Amino acid sequence: MAHQQLPSQSAIVGTEEHEQEAIDELIALLPISQCLVHPVHRLYQNFWCPITVLPNVITFQRHFKAKDKDIVLISHPKSGTTWLKALVFSVVNRSHLDISNTPLLTSNPHEVIPFIEHKPWSDLDGLAEPRLLATHIPYLSLPKSIKESNCQIIYICRNTLDTVVSSWHFLVEAAQLMDEQVWSLEEHFETCCQGQILFGPFWEHMLGYWKESLERPSKVLFLKYEDLKEDIGGQLKKLADFVGLPFTKEEEGGGVIEEIAKMCSLKTLKDLEANGSSKLPGTTFEKRSFFRKGEVGDWTNHLTPSMVDRLNSIMQEKITPFGLQFKTR
């Protein structure tokens, strides 16, 4: 598929209104997804971007100035973003925020760490440092200043068999809430295999960050959902070391790691009133919809053997040659 070129910066200087018009014109020219699955995507810089967030993505790309202390959490949707947000927030703020009064008790992790593409980018200037930000944007399309500054990226990845099932549940539930037409798992699966899922193709998303984490391990930490499920303590230590805030012996002895793991567990977060059926501001999603089963291997309950074969062969062809592999149960 053809790479979509942005018009040059100089073409859009002027008032915000002029820029908005230029962005709207650009978006109108982009290929639109032909699949049955909502929300509708446009092909922008070789990834399928939901049209609801594309204007923000473009504005962010053009204007965002990363600070060296920023920590940017990145994922392909349904890979463990919500969990990662809770964990990183807890690790980074642990010196001044006791678990008993963490904002995670009263706010959804997506409110605590904003998605850049869901907020006007200028709102981010007022955040306390280190700023914790999140996005689903692929590596190649990140703003230059994220790549070139000393800010850090934490990427979370998950086996695709489970993310296909998870994203289907999530999107169908959202469509039902909006009284929109729903689609079958088969239709959703086909869309994923064609790479037309949100911020897809998923293989390019994963590989962009995987390669960068190998080349610049102090810049990009690459985590896997399955490893967090298997050894949350070990992964929390890895994360704390990466952001330059290693757990002290006293903290380890005092059970701080276990406390964070428990606070951020699916069970704790899911049971909170803060994560109930109210809408996540700025979205049509209910807060509770980010917490479902949280299992490795739920795909065994949903995908047929031929679906599994097809997805595995896509992974074999696109991902495995680069040394990236996943546990699937």
Cβ-based nearer residue to ligand PAP, 44 or 202: 202
Binding residue for ligand PAP, selected from 78, 94, 131, 205, defined by CB under 6 A: 78
Count Cα neighbours of 235 within 13 Å in the Cβ-side half-sphere.
21
Residue type, 149: S
Binding residue for ligand PAP, selected from 166, 213, 235, 275, defined by CB under 6 A: 166
Q: Report, in Å, the least distance between residue 149 CB and ligand PAP.
A: 25
- In 169-217, the DSSP E strands lie at none
Q: Report, in Å, the least distance between residue 229 CB and ligand PAP.
A: 7
Q: Report, in Å, the least distance between residue 143 CB and ligand PAP.
A: 20
Q: What is the DSSP string of 60-122?
A: HHHH----TT-EEEEE-TTSSHHHHHHHHHHHHTTTT--GGG-GGGTS-HHHHS-BGGGS-GG
161 binds ligand PAP (CB under 6 A): no
Which helix (H) or strand (E) segment holds residue 50: the answer is strand 47-50
- DSSP bridge partners of 134: 73, 115
Binding residue for ligand PAP, selected from 75, 90, 152, 196, defined by CB under 6 A: 75
Sheet with 132-135: strands ordered across? 132-135, 71-75, 152-157, 220-224
- Asked if 136 is an active-site residue, the reply is yes
Q: Which of residues 171-200 bind ligand PAP (CB under 6 A)?
A: none
Binding residue for ligand PAP, selected from 50, 55, 77, 138, defined by CB under 6 A: 77
Q: Report, in Å, the least distance between residue 298 CB and ligand PAP.
A: 5
Residues 258-297, one symbol each (x = binds ligand PAP by CB under 6 A, - = not), give ------xxx--x--------------------xxxxx---
Cβ-based nearer residue to ligand PAP, 213 or 289: 289
Contact 82, 40 (CB under 8 A): no
Q: Which of residues 93-112 bind ligand PAP (CB under 6 A)?
A: none
Q: Report, in Å, the least distance between residue 109 CB and ligand PAP.
A: 8
72 token code pair: 């940017």
Q: Report, in Å, the least distance between residue 212 CB and ligand PAP.
A: 20
Q: Which range binds ligand PAP by CB under 6 A, 42-50, 70-78, 175-183, 234-242?
A: 70-78
Binding residue for ligand PAP, selected from 56, 59, 81, 213, defined by CB under 6 A: 81
Annotated catalytic residue within 41, 136, 188, 205: 136
Backbone angles phi, psi at 137, to 5 degrees: -70, 135
80 binds ligand PAP (CB under 6 A): yes
C-alpha distances in Å from residue 104, one per residue of 28, 174, 245, 266, 317: 39, 23, 20, 12, 40
Instruction: Give the chain's radius of gyration (CA, Å).
Output: 19
Residues 295-324, one symbol each (x = binds ligand PAP by CB under 6 A, - = not), give ---x--------------------------
CA dihedral over 298, 302, 308, 311, signed as positive or negative: negative
C-alpha distances in Å from residue 67, one per residue of 132, 149, 152: 11, 7, 10
**Enzyme catalytic residues:** 136
Residues that bind ligand PAP (CB under 6 A): 75, 77-83, 162, 166, 169, 264-266, 269, 290-294, 298
